[in-house]
Amino acid sequence: MKLYNFNSGPSILPQSVLEEASGAILNFNDTGLSILEIGHRTTWFQDVLQEAISSVKQLMQLNDTYEILFLHGGATTQFMQVPMNLLGDGETAAYCDNGIWGNKAAKEAALFGNVQVVTNSSDKQHTYIQKQFTVPADAKYLHITTNNTVEGTQWHQYPETGIPLVADMSSDIFSRQTDFTKFSLMYAGAQKNMGAAGVNLVVVKKEVLGKIQRKIPTIMNYQKHIEAGSLMNTPPVFAVYVSMLTLRWILANGGLTEMGKRSVEKAELLYNTLDSLPVFKATVAKEDRSQMNAVFFLTNPSLEAPFLDLCKKEGMIGVKGYRTIGGVRVSMYNALPLESVRIFCDLMKDFAFRNG
């Protein structure tokens, strides 16, 4: 049976990336060694890392005022590493709480300084993006989560504040054309749109570093990682390699302009189908709907289990909603073909016909 991978992360990867990566496990670039065996300081891996760094800069259209780091851990590590490097004792940072991950990020930051939560959409179960808010004049940075994987919301226009903007882009990075120069620091776990779990991309503008007096553990210090070229300790070699292959795939398939076009096409198909079928209901405000993660429910809750059972039977993988939210979640990352969305929409129509 053919499977359709709608997992929210780790998620679908391009088939060509899987094929090349699987070959490299046995014989990397005809070296006779596995990618799992090569030394991280060899020219073999240096070439991989440098291509990954160059691809990020090309896709984001960034100059040398930014540094690109591939670090251990996922985005959750950055919840503490960002304030550890940017927020001095007694200083204030502004955070947007638009869902689970923004809330967690704010709580971690509060361990290092004062946190002012300037938006909180919990009054409507995080089903919208609050766009009007005030940032404290003394805030050192504003932190946002550009796409809320769990709740299904997304920032479609970024806030203008005049202070450094920091973003967790884990679930929508490289999915659309963006002016990345609006941000002073961006980070993303790789396992959504840019590779395998285990590596974290950090893109940081050098001018925001080195401004606090706190002593930072070496392994948590961005400046030390920059000096070491992401090689302070043994990096997750295979995960970096898969990210490099995925970035290469994005560039070869039209870059962010094409990824954005595909994202819109898939999201419009899914949401238009959803809105046309009364058996389903979407609670997220239309203007804030995520192009990456569509979250919705059955109008009759008793139909949720039968619908999810049908999805499982038909090979629709990963469509059960997040454990604290429930419902249905369809993740539509870059590597997901439009055809998979079409087939899922046909399943929705058939279910609605039989249960409407």
* Residue that the structure tokens 């016909």 belong to: 353
**H or E stretch at 237:** helix 237-252
Tokens of 31: 């070296």
Closest residue by Cα to residue 184 from 170, 163, 200: 163
165-168 and 153-154: which strand pairing? unpaired
Q: Is-contact 197 11, C-beta < 8 A?
A: no
**H or E stretch at 71:** strand 66-72
- Active-site residue, selected from the candidate residues 97, 101, 140, 249: 101
Closest residue by Cα to residue 314 from 352, 345, 344: 344
Strands (E), 1-110: 4-5, 66-72, 92-97
- Active-site residue, selected from the candidate residues 140, 155, 192, 249: 192
Tokens of 172: 């929508």
Cis peptide before 10 (omega within 30 of 0): yes
Helix (H, G, I), strand (E, B) or coil at 70: strand
Helix (H, G, I), strand (E, B) or coil at 77: helix
CA–chain centroid gap for 35, Å, is 25
Tokens of 58: 């090309």
Whole-number Å distance between alpha carbons of 275 and 273: 6
Q: Is-contact 307 328, C-beta < 8 A?
A: yes
Q: Is-contact 227 206, C-beta < 8 A?
A: no
Annotation says 249 is catalytic: no
Annotation says 192 is catalytic: yes
Share of the chain residues as helix, strand and coil, in percent rounded to the nearest 5: 40, 20, 40
Closest residue by Cα to residue 171 from 191, 199, 151: 191
- Active-site residue, selected from the candidate residues 97, 168, 172, 288: 168
Q: Which residues are catalytic?
A: 101, 168, 192
